[in-house]
Amino acid sequence: MYRTHNNGQLRAVDINKEVTLAGWVQKTRDKGFMVWVDLRDRYGITQLIFDEERTSKEVIEKATKLGREFVIQVKGTVIERVSKNPNMPTGDIEILVSELNILNESLTPPFTIEDETDGGEDLRMKYRYLDIRRKPVRENLIFRSKVAMAVRNYLSKEGFIEVETPYLIKSTPEGARDFVVPSRMNAGQFYALPQSPQTFKQLLMVGGLDKYFQIVKCFRDEDLRADRQPEFTQIDCEMAFVEQEDILNAFEGLTKHLLKEINGIVPSNSGSKFPRMTYDEAMEKYGNDKPDIRFGMEFGELNAVAQNKDFGIFNQAELVVGIAVPGGNAFTRKEIDNLIDWLKRPQIDALGMVYVRCNEDGTYKSSVDKFYDQEDFAKWAEITGAKTGDLICVLSGAKNKARTQLSALRMHLAEQLGLRKNDEFAPLWVIDFPLLEWDEETNRYHAMHHPFTSPKPGQLELLATNPGEVKANAYDLVLNGNEIGGGSIRIHDKKTQALMFDYLGFTPEEAKAQFGFLMDAFQYGAPPHGGIAFGLDRLVAILGGQETIRDFIAFPKNNSGRDVMIDAPAPIDMKQLDELHLKVEIKK
Amino acid sequence: MYRTHNNGQLRAVDINKEVTLAGWVQKTRDKGFMVWVDLRDRYGITQLIFDEERTSKEVIEKATKLGREFVIQVKGTVIERVSKNPNMPTGDIEILVSELNILNESLTPPFTIEDETDGGEDLRMKYRYLDIRRKPVRENLIFRSKVAMAVRNYLSKEGFIEVETPYLIKSTPEGARDFVVPSRMNAGQFYALPQSPQTFKQLLMVGGLDKYFQIVKCFRDEDLRADRQPEFTQIDCEMAFVEQEDILNAFEGLTKHLLKEINGIVPSNSGSKFPRMTYDEAMEKYGNDKPDIRFGMEFGELNAVAQNKDFGIFNQAELVVGIAVPGGNAFTRKEIDNLIDWLKRPQIDALGMVYVRCNEDGTYKSSVDKFYDQEDFAKWAEITGAKTGDLICVLSGAKNKARTQLSALRMHLAEQLGLRKNDEFAPLWVIDFPLLEWDEETNRYHAMHHPFTSPKPGQLELLATNPGEVKANAYDLVLNGNEIGGGSIRIHDKKTQALMFDYLGFTPEEAKAQFGFLMDAFQYGAPPHGGIAFGLDRLVAILGGQETIRDFIAFPKNNSGRDVMIDAPAPIDMKQLDELHLKVEIKK
pLDDT digits (tens, 9 = 90+) for A518-537: 999 999 999 999 999 999 99
Q: Verify whether the Cβ–Cβ distance A231 to B166 is below 8 Å.
A: yes
Kindly state whether B187 is in contact with chain A, defined as any CB-CB distance less than 8 angstroms. yes
Per the omega criterion (within 30 degrees of 0), is the bond before B556 cis?
no
- What is the C-alpha separation between B505 and A458, in angstroms, rounded? 69
In chain B, residues with a C-beta closer than 8 Å to the C-beta of A182 are 180, 182
Query: What is the per-residue burial (b if ≥16 Cβ within 10 Å, else e) of B369-407?
Result: eebbeeebbbebbebbbbeeebbbbbbbbebebbbbbbb
Q: Average pLDDT, stretch B228-244?
A: 96
- What is the C-alpha separation between B328 and B324, in angstroms, rounded? 8
Q: Average pLDDT, stretch A63-69?
A: 96
Render pLDDT for A177-217 as a digit per residue (tens, 0 to 9): 999 999 999 999 999 999 999 999 999 999 999 999 999 99
Q: Which of A186, A193, A524 sits opposite B562 (nearest CB)?
A: A186
Q: Verify whether the Cβ–Cβ distance B209 to A132 is below 8 Å.
A: yes
Which residue of B147, B190, B496 to mutate against A (max A Cβ within 10 Å)? B190
pLDDT of residue A521: 97
In the predicted model, is pLDDT for residue A271 greater than 70? Answer: no
Q: Average pLDDT, stretch A296-310?
A: 96
In the predicted model, is pLDDT for residue B269 greater than 70? Answer: no
pLDDT of residue A223: 81
Render pLDDT for A336-391 as a digit per residue (tens, 0 to 9): 999 999 999 999 999 999 999 999 999 999 999 999 999 999 999 999 999 999 99
Other C-beta atoms lying within 10 Å of the C-beta of residue B440: 6
- What is the C-alpha separation between A532 and A296, in angstroms, rounded? 28
Q: Which of B109, B163, B583 sits opposite A585 (nearest CB)?
A: B583
Work out the mean pLDDT of chain A and round it to a whole number: 94
Chain A's closest residue to B191, CA to CA, is A569
Flag whether the ipTM exceeds 0.90.
yes
Q: Verify whether the Cβ–Cβ distance A203 to B129 is below 8 Å.
A: yes
Q: Return the amino acid letter for A529.
A: H
At residue A567's C-alpha, the angle toward residues A565 and A569, to 5°, is 135
In the predicted model, is pLDDT for residue A570 greater than 70? Answer: yes
Q: Verify whether the Cβ–Cβ distance A569 to B190 is below 8 Å.
A: yes
Q: Average pLDDT, stretch B392-398?
A: 97
Please say whether the beta carbons of A103 and A61 come within 8 A.
Answer: no
Q: Verify whether the Cβ–Cβ distance A192 to B568 is below 8 Å.
A: yes
Q: Which residues of chain A from 222 to 281 reach within 8 Å of chain B, CB to CB? A: 223, 230-231, 233, 241-243, 245-246
Q: Average pLDDT, stretch A408-428?
A: 93
In the predicted model, is pLDDT for residue B437 greater than 70? Answer: yes
The whole-angstrom distance between A164's CA and the closest CA on chain B is 7
Instruction: Kindly state the DSSP code that residue A179 receives in the 8-state scheme.
Output: P
Which residue of B524, B537, B573, B585 to mutate against A (max A Cβ within 10 Å)? B524
User: B332 to each of A302, B335, B385, B391, B447, how far by Cα in Å?
Assistant: 101, 5, 22, 11, 46
Q: Verify whether the Cβ–Cβ distance B142 to A156 is below 8 Å.
A: no
Phi-psi region of A5 (alpha: psi -120 to 50; beta: other; left: phi over 0): beta
Chain B's closest residue to A561, CA to CA, is B185
Beta bridge partners of B18: B77
Q: How would CATH label the architecture of B12-104?
A: Beta Barrel (2.40)
- What is the C-alpha separation between B337 and B299, in angstroms, rounded? 21
In chain B, residues with a C-beta closer than 8 Å to the C-beta of A581 are 584-587
In chain B, residues with a C-beta closer than 8 Å to the C-beta of A194 are none
Q: What is the DSSP string of B495-559?
A: HHHHHHHHHTT--HHHHHHHHHHHHHHHTBTPPPEEEEEEEHHHHHHHHTT---GGGG-SS---T
Kindly state whether B19 is in contact with chain A, defined as any CB-CB distance less than 8 angstroms. no
pLDDT of residue B26: 97
pLDDT of residue A464: 82
In the predicted model, is pLDDT for residue A270 greater than 70? Answer: no
In the predicted model, is pLDDT for residue A78 greater than 90? Answer: yes
Residue A9 class from Cβ within 10 Å (0-12 exposed, 13-18 middle, 19+ buried)?
A: middle
User: B289 to each of A100, A304, B293, B430, how far by Cα in Å?
Assistant: 40, 85, 11, 7
Please state whether beta strands B436-439 and B427-431 pair in parallel, antiparallel, or not at all (unpaired): unpaired
Instruction: Kindly state the DSSP code that residue B221 receives in the 8-state scheme.
Output: -
pLDDT of residue B588: 65
Element (H, E) at B193: none
- What is the C-alpha separation between A449 and A452, in angstroms, rounded? 8
Phi-psi region of A225 (alpha: psi -120 to 50; beta: other; left: phi over 0): beta
Q: Which of A71, A180, A553 sits opposite B182 (nearest CB)?
A: A180
Q: Average pLDDT, stretch A246-275?
A: 88
3-state secondary structure of A413: helix
Please state whether beta strands A427-431 and A276-278 pair in parallel, antiparallel, or not at all (unpaired): parallel
In the predicted model, is pLDDT for residue B271 greater than 70? Answer: no
Window from A440-449, A537-546, B213-222, B250-259 with minimum mean pLDDT: A440-449
Residue A552 pLDDT class (50, 70, 90 cuts): very high
In the predicted model, is pLDDT for residue B580 greater than 80? Answer: yes
At residue B124's C-alpha, the angle toward residues B122 and B129, to 5°, is 135
In the predicted model, is pLDDT for residue B391 greater than 90? Answer: yes
Please say whether the beta carbons of B341 and B396 come within 8 A.
Answer: no
Kindly state whether B184 is in contact with chain A, defined as any CB-CB distance less than 8 angstroms. yes
pLDDT of residue B196: 95
Q: Can you state the percent helix, strand and coil of chain B, rounding each to 5? A: 30, 25, 45
pLDDT of residue B270: 58
Q: Average pLDDT, stretch A511-520?
A: 93
Kindly state whether B163 is in contact with chain A, defined as any CB-CB distance less than 8 angstroms. yes
* Radius of gyration of chain A measured on its C-alpha atoms: 30
Residue A443 pLDDT class (50, 70, 90 cuts): confident
CATH dotted code for A295-416? 3.30.1360.30
Q: Which residues lie below 8 Å from residue B551, measured CB to CB, with a gap of 6+?
A: B136, B137, B140, B541
pLDDT of residue A175: 74
Which strands sit side by side in the sheet containing B391-397, from one edge to the other? B300-301, B319-325, B391-397, B354-358, B364-366
Q: Which residues of chain A from 421 to 450 reach within 8 Å of chain B, CB to CB? A: none
- What is the C-alpha separation between A318 and B431, in angstroms, rounded? 78
Render pLDDT for A319-349 as a digit per residue (tens, 0 to 9): 999 999 999 999 999 999 999 999 999 999 9
How many Å from the N-terminal Cα to the C-terminal Cα in chain A?
A: 59
Sign of CA dihedral A331, A333, A337, A338: negative
The whole-angstrom distance between A425's CA and the closest CA on chain B is 26
pLDDT of residue A79: 98
Kindly state whether B181 is in contact with chain A, defined as any CB-CB distance less than 8 angstroms. yes
Please say whether the beta carbons of B571 and A188 come within 8 A.
Answer: yes
The pTM (predicted TM-score) of the whole model is 0.95
Please say whether the beta carbons of A230 and A561 come within 8 A.
Answer: yes
Other C-beta atoms lying within 10 Å of the C-beta of residue B412: 14
Q: Does domain B138-167+193-274+427-552 have CATH number 3.40.640.10?
A: no
Residue A588 pLDDT class (50, 70, 90 cuts): low
In the predicted model, is pLDDT for residue A29 greater than 90? Answer: yes
pLDDT of residue B397: 97
Q: Which of A105, A186, A569 sits opposite B183 (nearest CB)?
A: A569
Residue A441 pLDDT class (50, 70, 90 cuts): confident
Q: Which residues of chain B from 441 to 500 reach within 8 Å of chain A, CB to CB? A: 492-493
Q: Average pLDDT, stretch B268-282?
A: 86
Q: Which of B132, B145, B566 sits opposite A162 (nearest CB)?
A: B145
Q: Which residues lie below 8 Å from residue A313, measured CB to CB, with a gap of 6+?
A: A351, A396
Which sequence spans correspond to the domains of chain B?
12-104, 138-167+193-274+427-552, 295-416
Render pLDDT for B61-116 as a digit per residue (tens, 0 to 9): 999 999 999 999 999 999 999 999 999 999 999 999 999 999 999 999 999 999 99
Q: Verify whether the Cβ–Cβ distance A156 to B164 is below 8 Å.
A: no
Which strands sit side by side in the sheet containing A319-325, from one edge to the other? A300-301, A319-325, A391-397, A354-358, A364-366
Please say whether the beta carbons of B229 and B549 come within 8 A.
Answer: yes
Kindly state whether B588 is in contact with chain A, defined as any CB-CB distance less than 8 angstroms. no
